[in-house]
Homo-oligomer: A and B are copies of this chain.
Amino acid sequence: MSTTSPSQRRYEKTRQGILDAARAILRESGIEGISIRTLAERVDYSPSAIYKYFDSKEAILAALREEGWRLSEAMSAEMDFTGMSPVEMILAGGMNYMRFARTYPEYFKLMLSSEYAESQTMNEIFNNPDFAGLTPLIEAGIQAGQIELPEGVSILHARLMMWFLVHGASIIEISLMGEQREEFEQAANEVFVAATKLMAPKKV
A162-196 with Cβ < 8 A to chain B: 163-169, 171-172, 174-177, 180, 183-184, 187-188, 190-191, 193-195
A152 within 8 A of B: yes
A198 within 8 A of B: yes
Chain A, residues 95-139, CB within 8 Å of chain B (1/0): the string is 000000000000001001111110111110100000000000000
Determine if A183 and B122 form an interchain contact, defined as CB atoms under 8 angstroms apart: yes
In the complex where A161-B195, A165-B168, A194-B161 touch, is A175 in contact with B122 (Cβ < 8 A)?
yes
Contacting residue for A150 out of B121, B150, B198, CB 8 A: B198
Determine if A121 and B171 form an interchain contact, defined as CB atoms under 8 angstroms apart: no
Q: How many copies does the complex hold?
A: 2
- Residues in B with CB closer than 8 Å to A116 are 115
Name the residue in A121, A150, A175 with the highest tally of chain B Cβ atoms < 10 Å from its Cβ: A175
Report the count of interface residues on A (CB-CB < 8 A).
Answer: 52
In the complex where A164-B168, A191-B160 touch, is A175 in contact with B120 (Cβ < 8 A)?
yes
Determine if A152 and B191 form an interchain contact, defined as CB atoms under 8 angstroms apart: no
A25 within 8 A of B: no
A153 within 8 A of B: yes
A52 within 8 A of B: no
A157 within 8 A of B: yes
Determine if B121 and A175 form an interchain contact, defined as CB atoms under 8 angstroms apart: yes
How many Å from the CB of A100 to the closest CB on chain B?
Answer: 15
- Measured CA separation A193–B153 after assembly (Å): 9
How many Å from the CB of A191 to the closest CB on chain B?
Answer: 5
- Measured CA separation A59–B168 after assembly (Å): 27
A202 within 8 A of B: yes
Determine if A169 and B164 form an interchain contact, defined as CB atoms under 8 angstroms apart: yes
